[in-house]
Amino acid sequence: MTEQQGIRWQFVAGRIVLFCAILALGVVLMKFFASLKEPAKTAEVVEPAIEVEIAIAEPENVPVTVQGFGNVRSRDTVAIAAKVPGDVIEVHPHLEAGGLVRQDEVLFRIDPADYEARLTQAEAQVGQLENSLALLREKAQQDRSRLDVIKRTRDLAKGEYDRDKGLYENDRVGSQSQVDFSERNYLQAKDAYEQAEQGVGLYPLRIAEAEQGLEAARAQRDLARLALERTTVTAPFDGRVKMAQLEVGQTAAPGMPVVSLSDDSALEISVPLDSRDAQGWLQFEEVTPEEGWFAKPVPVTCTLRWTEDTSGAVWEGELTRVERFDPTTRTLTVAITVEGAKAHAKETGLPLVEGMFCEVSIPGKTMQQVVRLPRWAVSFEGEAFFAEDDAEGRPRLQKRQVDVLRAQGEEVYVSSGIDPGDRVIVTRLANPMRNHLLEIIGETPTPELNATTTPPAGAPS
């Protein structure tokens, strides 16, 4: 081995010794620090609980309220037109949109001069025919009396002829010329009687014809009088002017509406309702199969609220009838009537007027023995959540299928699936797990639940 190789071997051996010394020191230090460390403590696992509010199920009988919306309108609105042509000479001072008029007040008047002249002419014609008829009846009576005289004359002439003829033919008393003279007198008397009798017989026809002419003249007179009366147009009822298109001097044409008048003493609202909702919960009277239409609804007092009102004004109306069924929208439209005396809200005096869009609440049937819950207490799948104690007496979450009889506003009414005394969770829960531990922070009997109750703060919606 050379000197250079010896030096290299010494260097490698020194490095190995140093490495072993450092490794031994590390092992000694690791054992020292390990001896100083305390053993770890075992952590206690605590099961988290969900804070919920519950409602104690108490079945109750709940009256149903069917709700809908509709526009207020006047029950009676008439379009008024002139019935006879002519120039307008007078107009009511309030004949303008929004004006109020009273029953029988003159709305407008047409120049009556032409119609007065026609009435005078018709009355004169009637008077003339009445006189003619009276004279004809008097003459008929006279001719009947004259006929009796002529008849007696004929009978006398016949008697004289029979006597002269008998004396000459039987006893040869008199002459043939005497008999011919008596016969001629008799024939003349007979002919006069027959002519008079024929004339008297025509009198009933002449009188009937005269009476018919008189009736026609009287009808013309009545038409002339009616036309004159129609030159004055009056209000058929106390009302409000919706439309007026008439001025003094304007020529009115028959049949063309110039005034629209509304009777605000009786208002109506047509309310479309879901046909199933209406048929299931509204009350109807008995109907016979022959009628072929919906039975008349039982009259009930309804409440109305104007959707734009913030003062809390409420009006009362009455359900009166079914107006129509729309097969396209499957809605049943009912009519609510509000009498004039109830057209002002009791609390504020606000009037209910045509055109208001109102929410209408109609009392219906009563749900029997249902459990009232907030809408969010039943899932879309028809499940409700309950607090049920486990073997250790701790409340845990359970799910159950329930039957919702009706949803109304922010409430649902459950007819089956919930037993009296069940603890129903009324807090909104997001993805609740069955058997999850619960912490009950409040409970309320279900009849005391308010439909306007909001879910607890922080609950998911």
Do residues 263 and 75 touch, judged by C-beta distance below 8 A? yes
Measured in residues, the chain has a length of 461
| Domains, the chain, with CATH or none | 51-62+368-448 (2.40.420.20), 114-229 (1.10.287.950), 264-365 (2.40.30)
pLDDT < 50: residue spans in the chain: 451-461
Tokens 């032409």 sit on residue:
114
Q: What is the structure's pLDDT at 121?
A: 94
Pairwise CA distance, residues 410 & 373, whole Å: 9
Pairwise CA distance, residues 88 & 115, whole Å: 14
Do residues 257 and 81 touch, judged by C-beta distance below 8 A? yes
Using DSSP, state whether 248 is helix, strand or coil.
coil
H helix or E strand, kind and range, residue 445: strand 438-445
Q: What is the structure's pLDDT at 460?
A: 34
Do residues 318 and 336 touch, judged by C-beta distance below 8 A? yes
SS (H, E, C) 210-256: HHHHHHHHHHHHHHHHHHHHCCEEECCCCEEEEEECCCCCCEECCCC
- For the four alpha carbons of 444, 446, 449 and 455, in that order, the dihedral sign comes to positive
The residues, any chain, with a CB within 8 Å of residue 378's CB and separated by 6 or more, are 384, 402, 404, 412, 414
Q: Whole-number mean pLDDT of the chain? A: 85
H helix or E strand, kind and range, residue 56: strand 50-56
pLDDT in tens, 395-446: 999 999 999 999 887 899 999 999 999 999 999 888 888 999 999 998 888 7
Q: What is the structure's pLDDT at 164?
A: 74
Per-residue tokens: 141: 């009576």
Do residues 330 and 274 touch, judged by C-beta distance below 8 A? yes
Helix axes 176-229 and 113-171, enclosed angle (nearest 10): 170
pLDDT in tens, 213-239: 999 999 999 999 999 999 999 999 888
Tokens 């609980």 sit on residue:
49
Pairwise CA distance, residues 38 & 409, whole Å: 64
The residues, any chain, with a CB within 8 Å of residue 113's CB and separated by 6 or more, are none
Per-residue tokens: 153: 């004359």
Do residues 461 and 410 touch, judged by C-beta distance below 8 A? no
Give 315's strand partners: 304
Strand 438-445 to 50-56 pairing: parallel
